[in-house]
A = this chain, B = another copy of it.
Amino acid sequence: MGILRKTKSVKILLEEFDKKSSAISAITLVERLASELNKTTVYRVLDKLEEDKVLHSFLGKNGHKWYAKCNGCSVSGHQDSHPHFQCSDCGKVDCLSTDVLIPKIPNRKVDVSQVLLQGKCEECYV
């Protein structure tokens, strides 16, 4: 069903993703926008923006939810097949354009692949 109305909440959320290109965790958004939006609203709007393929979501290293803007992934089902990189120092998460090749797995049909790489990002990499 997705977004039907252009509300204040939708605008506020989208602005956050326009500010910076890296992914943002749901927790961060809830905290950051606490004075403007209710926690429930944040989660619900994020859900809808994902349905509308404006954002895509994935799980970070603790199993917490992260969101990032969709770029080219709206075409073929937008199942973010690109890998994500989380810095073990600063915690920042980025979408990687470098593709990870998933080999054919015998006797199994792979529909979705989640790749989360962890290490040091360009800024924390000494």
Whether A119 sits at the interface, judged by CB under 8 Å, is yes
How many copies of this protein are present in the complex?
2
How many A residues are at the interface, by size bracket?
A: 20 to 34
Q: Is the interface of A mostly helix, strand, loop or mixed?
A: loop
The answer to whether A110 touches B115 (Cβ under 8 A) is no
Whether A114 sits at the interface, judged by CB under 8 Å, is yes
With both chains docked as a complex, state the minimum distance between the C-beta of A50 and any C-beta of chain B, in angstroms.
15
Binds B, one of A8-16, A35-43, A97-105: A97-105
* Chain B proximity mask over A82-126: 1 for CB below 8 Å, otherwise 0: 000100100000001011111101111111111111111110010
Cα of A115 to Cα of B101 in the assembled complex, Å: 11
Query: What are the residues of chain B within 8 A of A100 when measuring CB–CB?
Result: 100-103, 115
Cross-chain pairs A/B with CB under 8 angstroms, 16 sampled: A61-B114, A96-B105, A99-B103, A100-B102, A100-B115, A107-B122, A107-B125, A108-B119, A110-B117, A110-B119, A112-B119, A113-B116, A113-B118, A114-B114, A114-B116, A115-B115
Residues of chain A at the chain B interface (Cβ within 8 Å): 59, 61-65, 85, 88, 96, 98-103, 105-122, 125
